């Protein structure tokens, strides 16, 4: 299976929270792990926010950040370009998505389009984005 992970799913690999085991299970079952390049600053921001909000100590934040930096090169990345931005724009209005959520969905749809009949799983933990992904024909978590 090829799995596309949005930022909400990647963050769950590092913090014990609701759906952590589900996110890790998909990661462990995936033969190829894919995300958009925009996930890098989004995940970094979430790690920093966890420390600011007191959900982890600064020393733990540094360990989590280092682990994220270690695994980042193992992802296959979808690069953002003008065509992808136009598709994200369409998805925003079609599904009432937030900006970066639409970029993640557009990235996964591009991967599916270029891969033909690939077995692609879209891993995210945002209900609205999951709904949009299912409407676009992607396999998602049933939350």
Q: How many C-beta atoms surround the C-beta of residue 100 within 10 A?
A: 17
**Which strand (E) or helix (H) includes residue 21?**
helix 20-29
Task: Find the angle CA(7)-CA(85)-CA(121) to the nearest 5 degrees.
Answer: 40
pLDDT value at residue 91: 98
pLDDT value at residue 117: 58
Q: What CA–CA distance (Å, rounded) separates 83 from 91?
A: 13
pLDDT value at residue 115: 81
Tens digits of per-residue pLDDT, 85-142? 999 999 999 999 999 999 999 999 999 998 875 789 999 999 999 999 999 999 999 8
Report, at the CATH architecture level, how domain 2-140 is classified: 3-Layer(aba) Sandwich (3.40)
Domain ranges for the chain, please list them: 2-140
Residue 38: CA atoms inside 13 Å, Cβ hemisphere, count? 18
Tell me: pLDDT of 47 over 90: yes
pLDDT value at residue 121: 96
- Report the pLDDT averaged over residues 59-77: 97
* Residues comprising the chain, all counted: 143
User: What DSSP letter does each residue of 27-78 carry, written as one string?
Assistant: HHH-SEEEEETTHHHHHHHHHHHHHHTTSS-HHHHHHHHHHHHHHGGGSEEE
Q: Are 74 and 27 in contact (CB under 8 A)?
A: no
Percent of the chain with pLDDT over 70: 99
- pTM exceeds 0.75: yes
């Amino acid at each position: 299976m090829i799995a596309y992970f949005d930022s909400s799913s990647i963050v769950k690999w590092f913090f014990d929270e609701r759906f952590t085991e589900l996110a890790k299970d998909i990661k462990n079952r995936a033969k190829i792990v894919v995300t958009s390049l925009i996930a890098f600053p989004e995940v970094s921001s979430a790690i920093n926010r966890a420390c600011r909000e007191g959900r982890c100590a600064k020393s733990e934040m540094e360990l989590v950040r280092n682990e994220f930096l270690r695994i980042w090169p193992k992802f296959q990345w979808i690069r953002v370009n003008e065509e992808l931005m136009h598709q994200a724009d369409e998805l925003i209005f079609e599904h009432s998505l937030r900006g970066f959520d639409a970029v993640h969905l557009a990235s996964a749809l591009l991967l599916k389009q270029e891969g033909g009949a690939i077995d692609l799983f879209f891993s995210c933990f945002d209900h609205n984005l999951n709904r949009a992904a299912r409407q676009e024909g992607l396999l998602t978590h049933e939350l």
